[in-house]
């Protein structure tokens, strides 16, 4: 690790996947880069718990451009990080037979053909587990699940090889423009300067902007509950997502024999907009698992046998409606009140390549 300096070509705030990859990309282009995070290790928050599915486009049946970009990014991610993926995890998507569904089975199949997404009918052994009165169709798809521990180790090595300076366990307090025209990042016990600061703090972005006296990006946030469960053997180790509306998803939990259960209606526990601090009552919350499993059990009866283990609570960020462009569901925002400050937010692992492309298109490397 290079010696600590007070001046850098670029500072990146937030050592999740996006912040780590941005740091490596800039450093490989010859920049002196400082990466800072309040946690004691990289990939410790949303990148580890919220985002371990690598999307292949199936989630976007109402946006062909976004789906196609996701499909391209999926191939790039799997090629680059094949050693960080869980092997042999069959993945399925189902379409609900419900007036609440925003897509029919016929529409979903047409969408997948147009976007060139691999799609096959699920085997009878899987279809037999589902209620045919509530699920119109079940498909085998191609998606991957990341092992966060392996991804963390891989990115640690890439940061080291690229000579990125790491400062962990230090809270970023504010970003201001100094009298010399460069940006100044104030940490808990130190101050650093750089002409460019990339804010990749995800759920902490709005609060950091507020502390800096800068306008927020207008992102909505929600406290999301992810239930960790032990599924019966026929369901253990597979993923099943019901499209497209207030339905549920089960996924293999990385580095474990357990699974996660989430639900579009019940996973969001609280919502807020702007820099308001997330609720502090997480520990006292009663889990929404009973509601999740009760509704999921209508479509997949065997899921009622799931044993509840624990829940993870993490902040998820919803982008402003006007943030995405060119089918990229990310925010790459050059802040108009602080030249050189870029706010980066995205909710999916595969979108890291949209960030990399934006980095190059913006002339940052």
The helix or strand, by DSSP H or E, that contains position 108, with its residue range, turns out to be helix 105-115
pLDDT at 218: 87
Residue 59, CB half-sphere, CA atoms under 13 Å: how many? 20
pLDDT at 129: 98
In total, how many domains does the chain have? 2
Query: Which range of residues forms the domain containing residue 40?
Result: 10-46+149-218+322-361
Which two structure tokens, joined as six digits, stand for 152?
């963390």
CATH of residue 253's domain is 3.30.9.10
CB within 8 A of 84, min separation 6: which ones?
146, 147, 150, 151, 154
Q: 84 lies in a domain?
A: no
CB within 8 A of 15, min separation 6: which ones?
23, 35, 36, 37, 39, 41, 42, 43, 44, 166, 168
The helix or strand, by DSSP H or E, that contains position 341, with its residue range, turns out to be strand 341-346
The helix or strand, by DSSP H or E, that contains position 227, with its residue range, turns out to be strand 220-230
Each of the 365 residues of the chain gets a pLDDT tens digit; together they read 676 779 999 999 999 999 999 999 999 999 999 999 999 999 987 666 667 899 999 999 989 999 999 999 999 999 999 999 999 899 999 999 999 999 999 999 999 999 999 999 999 999 999 999 999 999 999 999 999 999 999 999 999 999 999 999 999 999 999 878 899 999 988 999 999 999 999 989 999 999 999 999 988 888 899 999 999 999 999 999 999 999 999 999 987 899 999 999 999 998 888 766 555 555 456 899 999 999 999 999 999 999 999 999 888 888 876 555 455 689 999 999 999 999 999 989 999 999 999 999 999 99
Query: 267 and 244, same structural domain?
Result: yes
CA–CA dist 192, 105 (Å, integer):
54
CB within 8 A of 138, min separation 6: which ones?
92, 93, 94, 121, 122, 126, 127, 130, 240
pLDDT at 244: 92
The helix or strand, by DSSP H or E, that contains position 289, with its residue range, turns out to be helix 289-299
Query: 281 and 167, same structural domain?
Result: no
DSSP string, 343-365: EEEESSGGGHHHHHHHHHHTT--
pLDDT at 188: 85
- Helices 148-161/17-28 angle, 10° precision: 20
Query: 157 and 125, same structural domain?
Result: no
Q: 58 lies in a domain?
A: no
Q: 247 lies in a domain?
A: yes
Which two structure tokens, joined as six digits, stand for 67?
């789906």
pLDDT at 161: 98
Query: 293 and 247, same structural domain?
Result: yes
Query: 125 and 248, same structural domain?
Result: yes
Interstrand relation of 10-13 and 330-334 (parallel, antiparallel or unpaired): unpaired
CATH of residue 179's domain is 3.50.50.60
DSSP string, 39-101: SSSSS-SHHHHT--EE--STT-TT-HHHHHHHHHHHHHHHHHSGGGB-SS--EEEEEE-STT-
**Contact present, 130 and 138 (Cβ < 8 Å):** yes
Query: 257 and 312, same structural domain?
Result: yes
Query: 229 and 115, same structural domain?
Result: yes
Query: 196 and 159, same structural domain?
Result: yes
Q: 298 lies in a domain?
A: yes
CB within 8 A of 198, min separation 6: which ones?
10, 11, 12, 13, 19, 22, 342, 344
């Amino acid at each position: 690790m290079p010696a600590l300096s007070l001046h850098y070509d670029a500072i990146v705030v937030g050592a999740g996947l996006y912040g780590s990859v941005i740091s490596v990309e800039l450093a490989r282009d010859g920049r002196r880069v400082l990466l800072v995070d309040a946690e004691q290790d990289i990939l410790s928050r949303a990148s580890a718990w919220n985002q371990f599915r690598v999307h292949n486009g199936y989630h976007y049946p109402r946006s062909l451009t976004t789906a196609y970009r996701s499909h391209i990014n999926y191939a790039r991610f799997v090629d680059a990080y094949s050693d960080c993926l869980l092997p042999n995890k069959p993945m399925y998507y189902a379409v609900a037979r419900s007036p609440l569904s925003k897509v029919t089975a016929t529409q979903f199949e047409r969408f997948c053909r147009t976007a060139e997404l691999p799609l096959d009918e699920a085997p009878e052994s899987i279809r037999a587990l589902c209620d045919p009165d509530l699920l119109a169709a079940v498909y085998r798809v191609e998606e991957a699940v990341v092992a966060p521990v392996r991804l963390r180790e891989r990115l640690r090595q890439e940061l080291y090889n690229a000579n990125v300076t790491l400062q962990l366990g230090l809270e970023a307090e504010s970003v201001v423009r100094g009298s010399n025209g460069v940006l100044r990042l104030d940490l808990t016990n130190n101050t650093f300067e750089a002409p460019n600061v990339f804010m990749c703090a995800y759920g902490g972005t709005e609060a950091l902007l507020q502390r800096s006296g800068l306008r927020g990006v207008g992102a909505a946030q929600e406290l999301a509950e992810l239930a960790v469960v032990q599924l019966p053997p026929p369901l253990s180790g597979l993923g099943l997502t019901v499209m497209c509306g207030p339905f549920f998803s089960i996924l293999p939990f990385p580095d474990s024999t357990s699974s996660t259960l989430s639900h579009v209606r019940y996973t969001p526990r609280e919502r807020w907009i702007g820099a308001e601090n997330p609720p502090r009552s997480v520990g006292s919350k009663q889990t929404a698992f009973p509601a999740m499993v009760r509704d999921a059990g209508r479509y997949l009866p065997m899921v009622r046998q799931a044993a509840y283990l624990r829940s993870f609570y993490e902040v998820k960020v919803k982008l402003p409606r006007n943030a995405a462009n060119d089918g990229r569901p990310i925010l790459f925002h050059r802040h108009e009140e602080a030249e050189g400050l870029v706010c980066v937010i995205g909710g999916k692992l595969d979108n890291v390549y949209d960030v990399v492309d934006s980095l190059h298109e913006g002339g940052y490397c």
